[in-house]
Structure 1
């Protein structure tokens, strides 16, 4: 049996958003999201860390090729999110707030659709150096996956 290893890759993207839930009143949105609900929105330089888990290949000494992981992150997340207005440009966020938590879930779903099954372990999204959210796939439903459209 091969040793099980965890491998992570960090990438970054810049994007604008507004914390807002269209199903709440304007006043409730202001109360819940504060200054992050400003109608003009605001931007972040996000950092995404993708963690994979699996056996080390005895021939290559690697879990996977870093080049493959870089390409999966680029195609599934960066090409969709970088230099975009998350709320306006990505259909998934038209019905839900673009919080770090929801961005982590969205990124997980997108990555799980392009990576080999069972390889993705965790996605961590840092909105600022002080705020980050992580997601490991718990609680996803088919409805969540179907809603993950760009």
Structure 2
């Protein structure tokens, strides 16, 4: 039997969608307001899902307190209230689109989660716009 457990977190971050190889005009054409040279921010909602078998001794798929602690130290402390383009190594040369943010979060978390568990990251940039990455 496989079950999925989820943890939801929130973080706030600024970013600018910008391709360094393009002119400011082309960036504005492709990314619109999201390419504002003065940046813009989002209140991101992050959902991390772990799927696997229930441990017969604990009754857990994964200890959600451990997941909460992991998300705080590895994700929230790293990205919350940061300018992703300027304040983080992960996005210094990677366009911080929702797709890339979700993938980076997955890549950070994967080595910290047992291999027998499936990992999925869902990132809401707005209430209506979200992405999911499963590795």
How far apart are residue 95 of structure 1 and its match? 1.5
Does the Cα contact within 8 Å between 1:55 and 1:63 map onto a contact in 2? yes
Q: Which of 123, 126, 130 is equivalent to 1:125? A: 123
Structure 1 CA distance for aligned equivalents of residues 21 and 118 of structure 2: 32
CA contact (8 A) 1:104 1:124 kept: yes
**Aligned match of 1:90 in 88, 100, 118?**
88
For residues 22 and 114 of structure 2, the distance between their equivalents in structure 1, rounded to whole angstroms, comes to 38
Point out 4+ residue stretches in structure 1 off by more than 4 angstroms.
Answer: none
Q: Please state how far the C-alpha of 1:74 moved relative to its aligned partner.
A: 1.2
Q: For structure 2, which runs of at least 5 residues remain unmatched after alignment?
A: none
Cα RMSD between the aligned structures? 1.1
Equivalent residue, structure 2, for 1:112: 110
What is the rounded CA distance, in whole Å, between the counterparts of 1:19 and 1:7 in structure 2?
A: 32
The answer on whether the counterparts of 1:112 and 1:120 sit within 8 Å (CA) in structure 2 is: no
CA contact (8 A) 2:43 2:125 kept: yes
Q: Deviations over 1:48-86 (max 9, x none)?
A: 000001110112211111111101111221110001000
What is the CA-CA distance between 1:113 and the residue it aligns to? 2.4
Number of residues of Structure 1 aligned to a counterpart in Structure 2: 135
Unaligned runs of 5+ in 1: 138-150
TM-score using structure 2 length: 0.95
Determine the structure 2 residue equivalent to 1:20: 18
Q: Judge conservation of contact 2:106–2:119 (CA < 8 Å) in 1.
A: no
Separation in 2, partners of 1:48, 1:120: 17
Q: Distance in 1 between matches of 2:118 and 2:76?
A: 17
TM-score by length of 1: 0.86
Per-residue CA distance 1:98-132 (angstroms, 9 max, x = gap): 11100000000011122222424200000110110
